[in-house]
Amino acid sequence: MKNSIKVERAKKNWTQADLAEKAKVSRQTINAMELGKYSPSTVLALKLAELFDTTVNEIFTLEKSDRE
């Protein structure tokens, strides 16, 4: 799954640590999501969308391999 967390975070001028604190997860979790190594739970995806004032679909997109 691709995501635009790093881009959205940059728009807010937040560090990974800032976002982690706001989302109540570790900085390592944010880093893993940005690198595509971790897919968030539905609750975390919704929380991130709320923090970025956007939709889950704007942040996360399925890749072809995720659909198969």
Residue type, 35: L
Residue 63 CB neighbour total at 10 angstroms: 10
Residue type, 32: A
Range of 38's domain? 2-54
Within a domain: 64: no
pLDDT digits (tens, 9 = 90+) for 15-68: 999 999 999 999 999 999 999 999 999 999 999 999 999 999 999 998 887 777
Name the nearest CA neighbour of 37 among 25, 46, 29, 49: 29
pLDDT at 13 over 90: yes
What pLDDT was estimated at residue 65?
79
Within a domain: 63: no
CA distance 3 to 25: 17
Do the bridges between strand 2-3 and strand 60-61 make them parallel or antiparallel, or are there none, so unpaired?
A: antiparallel
Structural domain count of the chain: 1
Question: What is the pLDDT confidence band of residue 11, given thresholds at 50, 70 and 90?
Answer: very high
Within a domain: 49: yes
